[in-house]
Amino acid sequence: MNILTKFHGVIPPVSTIIDANECLDEKGMKNLIDFLIESKVNGLFFLGSGGEFSQMSTSLRKKVAEFAVEYVNGRLPVLIGTGTPSTKETISLSMHAKEIGADGIVVINPYYWPLSEDNLFQHFAQIAEKVDIPTLLYNFPALTGQDLSPEFVLKLVESYPNIVGIKETVDAVAHTREMILTVKAAHPDFAVFSGYDDHFLNTLSLGGDGSIPGTANFAPELSTSIYQSFMEKNYAHAIETHRLLSSLLSLYQIDKPFVSVIKEALSLRGVEISTNMIAPARRLNEEKKEQVKKILNQVLDIEGIFYK
């Protein structure tokens, strides 16, 4: 029997829509949020990697968080990314997220400096002690340079019950398997999400809880279909749809950071948003736009999803 955790299923890492002056584009954000809610996703994660948090000022991060919570207005659970290299600033952003009514926070470990395990533990411990709100860890060693091991996560969860889950953006499925066997086996309500789209079905089959996939911004039907099919034990359809989803992942190679690709795909999908980026990221040139369009048409025509 699958036990649903508080956070489960498909939770898109929502793109932040901005205008030409790198300010929040509220109209575009409303259009995207409404599109995702209508697509029957299970939650919304703002200010993750796909939300360009790393390029933002603190004031812009707070504005995006405030707008998101207010506009979603309880229609779905809202997670806010609050991680920074500074413990003090992370606590401040986490307290802000709680004050505005977020359902939970997602905290990536400090990047730039590698930390001793004790210093890393104390970083998360201080946050958990200061901010009593459901907290998901965000493990992305390719960008932070430091992995959160299953044993380390278990130690945190044993000490701080408000740490309720993790986003596993890791290459090795074995790492996620060990996270489930080590942490979730001891704490069944602990939620384990895949960060990489192509690990979604593996994560579910190993006993995990869902995915936080970038493609769910512009093709949420695929991820929600995988999740629904798996929960209904229609494994053949889940596998078929997962193969289709995996065919989209060449999109991530078109530009770096990949967020520009997601915004272009959203625009092609017909969601009315600007495709502006926060520097140093840039909008796609015409050649790259054509590459995005070609892949979307090749992969998604089969599903009857219309692209311009």
Q: State how far the Cα of 266 lies from the Cα of 259, in Å rounded to an integer.
A: 11
d(CA 292, CA 250): 9
Work out the number of other CB atoms within 10 angstroms of the CB of residue 34: 14
Q: Which of 62, 98, 167, 289 is catalytic?
A: 167
- Residue appearing with tokens 């992995």: 147
Q: Tell me if residue 191 falls in helix, strand or coil.
A: strand
The residues facing 46 across adjacent strands are 14, 80
Give the separation between CA 211 and CA 223, rounded to whole angstroms: 8
**Encoded tokens for 221:** 């039907």
Q: What is the DSSP secondary structure assignment for residue 183, as one 8-state letter?
A: I
From the candidates 138, 184, 211, 263, which is the catalytic residue? Answer: 138
Residue 112 designated active-site: yes
**Catalytic-residue membership of 167:** yes
d(CA 100, CA 278) in angstroms, rounded, equals 25
- How far apart are the C-alpha atoms of 188 and 112, rounded to whole Å? 33
Strand-pair partners of 14: 46
Contact assessment for residue 189 and residue 162, using Cβ atoms and an 8 Å cutoff: no
What is the spatial distance between Cα 278 and Cα 95, in angstroms, rounded to a whole number? 25
Calpha distance 210→203 (Å, rounded): 7
Mind telling me the catalytic residues? 49, 112, 138, 167
